[in-house]
Structure 1
């Protein structure tokens, strides 16, 4: 079954470009051109992910997602926006989005963001993820379990582990890891990252988190 996306975008040229690209990549993508139309489609159909432009007629993307979230719909959402201020970014995440991308953007980057979120959603539907024979991760409680006992992790270690699990078997460059483990108002630290990885390796094994010299890390699923 194809992954089904809703695209809210009032720029007809951009909408057609995105629809054509994602259809070529094997997605089922349904376009909408204003907030009210998108809202109706959400009621009528089931989607795996929303792609929402912010500045659209009738009801903007922020308002639409706030309404959808208030009614219990947890479908992941990515905002497509030309807004650059931190206030706008904050409003986007407060309304319930999972990611955002600023215009102009490369279609491949949008595809990668969509694939990452879809992969994450799929993995989180499995409550217990097997990391090794005796190590598991509970995606509902965010607990790492070894030999049937919960292993305490600090916040950054937990965030790092989840990022590895969501992107297993991929080369993750240092910059991408730092961006995802540290918040935008924090100063990332390579030394701290190495410490967190060292601590995780003690639990899951050195062969699970591989260092690729001068490039980054890869979390092996097998």
Structure 2
């Protein structure tokens, strides 16, 4: 029997939490829930999940801060925010904190399911999968975390590797500088814009300049 995907749900509205959890369990997922940000932090520290569903306005630690902290600690699990916040600023803050998707309340359960399935198909951070072809003769092995060029491993610094994995997991998306900094530099490290430019330059030399597009004054987009 195939192992079920594990979903973590943070939602302080008990009725909505039960409704979403029951629906997803009927669709074949294992679902674990939490009702406060502090409770969620503990569970994310203890357990590895396949996908995170996070409400924003929850007691103690809000969803944005929760995910931002988790990303800084190396948690790369795909995450969807479910929230009633609907301004452009809210949307930007959600993506800047490391979200992969954002769904506004009220939402149809079927739409939520489609978004979950889409993210799980894209995610490769901790699953066995075939090499990801980047360009002719260039591929990435997500299991061994190795970039290959013409069949030979390419030498990458740890932060260059982390940056490549971030780009591949969010292919086609515009990723802001702050999000990149949070993924590449640890809690006690100071992000460096010049170092980031060097990492981008080195990756472009290997995978092609046109694969990483600069978005002026905002960030970068990996072009699949």
TM-score of Structure 1 vs Structure 2, range by shorter chain: 0.5 to 0.7
Answer yes or no: is 1:47 the counterpart of 2:49. no
User: Structure 1 residues 164, 132: closer, same or farther in 2, change over 3 A?
Assistant: same
Q: 1:219 to 1:75 in 2, by over 3 A?
A: closer
Residues 77/117 of structure 1: CA separation in 2 closer, same or farther (3 Å cut): farther
Structure 1 position 204, deviation (Å): 0.3
Deviates more, 1:178-187 or 1:165-174: 178-187
8 A contact 2:139–2:147 mirrored in 1: yes
Q: Unpaired runs of 5+ in structure 1?
A: 20-28, 33-37
Q: Is the 1:84–1:102 contact (alpha carbons within 8 Å) kept by the matching residues of 2?
A: no
**1:137 corresponding residue in structure 2:** 140
List aligned pairs for 1:7-156, cutoff 5 A. Answer: 7=9, 9-12=11-14, 15=16, 30-31=20-21, 46-47=28-29, 50=31, 52-55=33-36, 69=47, 74-78=49-53, 80=55, 82-84=59-61, 98=77, 106=85, 109=94, 112=101, 119=119, 122-124=122-124, 126-156=129-159
Give me the CA root mean square deviation.
Answer: 4.5
Give yes or no for the alignment of 1:192 onto 2:171. no
Q: Partners in 1 of 2:76 and 2:216 — Cα distance?
A: 34
| CA deviation after TM superposition for structure 1 residue 65, in Å | 6.8
Segment drifting more, 130-139 vs 182-191: 182-191
* Structure label with greater radius of gyration: 1
Q: Kindly provide the CA deviation profile for residues 145-185 of structure 1, in whole angstroms up to 9, marking residues without a partner as x.
A: 00000012111001100011111112222222222222233
Match of 2:111 in 1: none
1:192 aligned counterpart, secondary structure: helix
Any gaps of 5 or more consecutive residues in structure 2? 104-114
Report how many aligned residue pairs link the two structures. Answer: 187
Q: Could you state the TM-score of these two structures normalised by the residue count of structure 1?
A: 0.62
Partner of residue 218 from structure 1, selected from 200, 218, 221: 221
When normalised by structure 2's length, the TM-score is 0.61
Determine which structure has greater relative contact order: mean sequence separation of CA pairs < 8 Å that are 6+ residues apart, divided by chain length: 2
